Chains A and B, each alone.
Chain A
Amino acid sequence: MPLLKLERVSRDFDVSPPWLNRVLDHEPRRILRAVDQVSLDIDKGETVGLVGESGCGKSTVARLIVGLYAPTEGRIEYRGRRLQMIFQDPYASLNPRWRVHDIVAEPIRFLGTPQKVEELLRQVGLSPDDGEKYPHEFSGGQRQRISIARALAGEPDFLVCDEPTSALDVSVQAQILNLMSDLQRRLGLTYLFISHNLAVVSQVADRVGVMYLGRIVELAPAAQLFSRPRHPYTRMLLDAVPDLGMSGRPRTPVRGEVPNPLAPPSGCTFHPRCPHANERCRREVPAFIDGVACHAVLEGRI
């Protein structure tokens, strides 16, 4: 039994102009499908990475899982104790008017967990005296530690981390990643780790899902995904990072642009950028079979 199970989960956003403008300009409703038929199982204790270019729906998956959004279609089953989330922006994720002590104490007070703020601050490498300060007195990395302390205060067994290090300097990134894997070992946490940075994901993840335009196009154990990527999109992402897996290959930048999610391409949505696209790709949506969603792979063409 997986700890978390996503079954064909989709999420639409209504991005239509306001009703009156729509009527006056004779415009139809506009629906943006941010997450499309995503299925994913996560087992207790593992770290699943989720990668993909900006706008592909990673944050929406995160928010669906913690219940900030309701799925438009599909089911999310969670059998654990409690989910908490760590956010990307260390400057927006802490209320600037609250003292750190109150920020970390909020889950304790509201959820009634037997945690102690001082102990939590120590666990994430801060001093108990820091509780008296306001968020603006801390650096980005320290703020992310406060965010982690707040998440731990709710005694979660599952942490959804939405680009927790993307806003930090490289040296600080490593410290936060170390802290997170430390905590995982000590507390038996399960992570969904979201990032657009493959190098970061390769450091922390046991399994990795690759998202493109709302869909998971490849899902594989990290070692396998980085050494033998199958989906053309995964290959393109990896080719852009020189020192991961495939040694010796020249670095080639990512080609093309992400299409407008309001008008996604027909068939395989990756086909306008794919070097292996053919007529079938333009017509038929590839099914997700055996960890990959690509006609060419399933046909044995690549």
Chain B
Amino acid sequence: MILLRRIWDHDLAWSFRRSPVTVVAAALTVICVGAALLAPWASPQDPFDMAALNLSDAFTPPAWEDKGMASYPLGTDNQGRDILSTIMHGARISLGVGIAAVLFALVLGVSLGLLSGYLGGRVDAVIMRIADVQLSFPAILIALLIDGFARVALPGDRHDELAIPVLVLAIGFAGWVQYARTVRGSTMVEKEKEYVQAARVIGRRPLAIMLSHVLPNVTGPVLVIGTIHIATAIITEATLSFLGVGVPATRPSLGTLIRIGNEFLYSGEWWITVFPGLALVVLVLSVNLLGDWLRDALNPKLR
């Protein structure tokens, strides 16, 4: 109870309550994430269970249209899969890939940024030149390159199995630079502070100082970048999947659903692509708004 009270009174909570947009964004994020997490149990249908599908129900429009059916609130696709269920499962994969990619980028970027900023000299020069070069390519291109390389390197049957981990690495690798640059900058400031010198006088090793002293003091901006990056990573994944190089069609993400639905857009079955598209927009937009709010709330100077 006291803990709840303290959370409620905290500066962050206060700035949260003052921003209606953020409250709406948070609510939408919770709904999206909740629907995604609970998909296997809460979705009306298991879209991956071939036996549960009824081909004669294919192309059913949303429930409120003339030929709609109450059991398929958002209609069905060409195989008779319930759109709402595929969206819930697709969001699960999109979110999973996005979050995993962000975690990978975060760990890689924070580690390299710490090393770069703390050690300086050649290590710093090499890491930062790599970052410069990488930044001159769009993230999507880097992810495409890595994904394409993995496709060539891995035998066909292994590829489908490893498609999701490869995608996570590709998207994550395309995004480490931002973390590294931010952490490097704050590390260079922190390492000159006297508490770091005090630790050196005691005789602590550079790695110990980086992890136990510097790291806790440079994580603030990382959380903000991470939140906003989740939205970007989901978009990147959706783009790759839309282009057909992302997740395998047997485990469709929101991007895959949009691509599949796109084929039927001009024959009038708009719902197959529009609803996954809307879900993607809502998910990305609300995560993004949350990230923006977090950035402003943690650093009033940026406003």
Contacts and interface: CB of A to CB of B under 8 A. Distances in A.
On whether the two chains bind one another, the answer is: yes
Contacts of B107: none
A93 B213 CA distance: 12
Interface stretch (B14-22, B193-201, B243-251, B288-296): B193-201
Contact of B202 (A92, A93, A95, A107): A107
Given A95-B213, A97-B216, A83 B201 contact: yes
Question: Chain A's interface: helix, strand, loop or mixed, by majority?
Answer: loop
B10 interface: no
B217 interface: yes
Interface string A68-80: 1000000000000
B199 A106 contact: yes
A154 B200 CA distance: 13
Contact of A66 (B193, B201, B213): B201
Nearest to B205: A110
Give chain B's interface residue range (CB within 8 Å of chain A). Answer: 10 to 19
B268 interface: no
B201 A110 contact: no
A124 interface: no
A208 to B, nearest CB: 24
A93 B202 CA distance: 13
Interface string B177-217: 00000000000000001110111111110000000010011
A94 interface: yes
Contact of B217 (A84, A93, A95): A95
A111 B201 contact: no
A87 interface: yes
Nearest to A67: B201
Given A95-B213, A97-B216, A97-B217, A111 B197 contact: no
B121 to A, nearest CB: 11
A92 to B, nearest CB: 4
Contacts of A67: 201
Nearest to B198: A93
A95 B195 contact: yes
A69 to B, nearest CB: 10
A231 interface: no
Contacts of A111: 202-203
Interface string B214-250: 0011000000000000000000000000000000000
Given A95-B213, A95-B217, A96-B217, A87 B204 contact: no
A78 to B, nearest CB: 13
B204 A89 contact: no
A110 B202 contact: yes
B129 to A, nearest CB: 11
Interface in A92-119: 92-98, 106-107, 110-111
A85 interface: yes
Contacts of B203: 110-111
Contacts of B204: 106, 110
A87 B217 contact: no
A271 interface: no
A106 B194 contact: no
Contacts of B193: 92-93
Contacts of B198: 85, 87, 93, 147, 150
Contacts of A94: 195
A60 interface: no
Contacts of B217: 95-97
Contacts of A106: 199, 202, 204
Interface string B139-173: 00000000000000000000000000000000000
B199 A85 contact: no
Nearest to B219: A97
Nearest to A160: B201
A85 B201 contact: yes
A96 B193 CA distance: 11
A92 B195 contact: yes
Given A63-B197, A85-B201, A147-B198, 20 more contacts: A68-B200, A68-B201, A83-B201, A84-B202, A85-B197, A87-B197, A87-B198, A89-B194, A92-B194, A93-B193, A93-B197, A93-B198, A94-B195, A95-B213, A95-B217, A97-B216, A106-B202, A106-B204, A110-B204, A154-B202
28 contacts: A63-B197, A66-B201, A68-B200, A83-B201, A84-B201, A85-B201, A87-B194, A87-B197, A87-B198, A88-B194, A89-B194, A92-B194, A93-B194, A93-B195, A93-B197, A93-B198, A94-B195, A95-B213, A95-B217, A96-B217, A97-B216, A97-B217, A98-B216, A106-B202, A106-B204, A107-B202, A150-B198, A154-B202
Nearest 9 pairs between A and B by C-beta? Answer: A93-B194, A87-B194, A97-B216, A95-B195, A92-B193, A92-B194, A107-B202, A85-B201, A66-B201
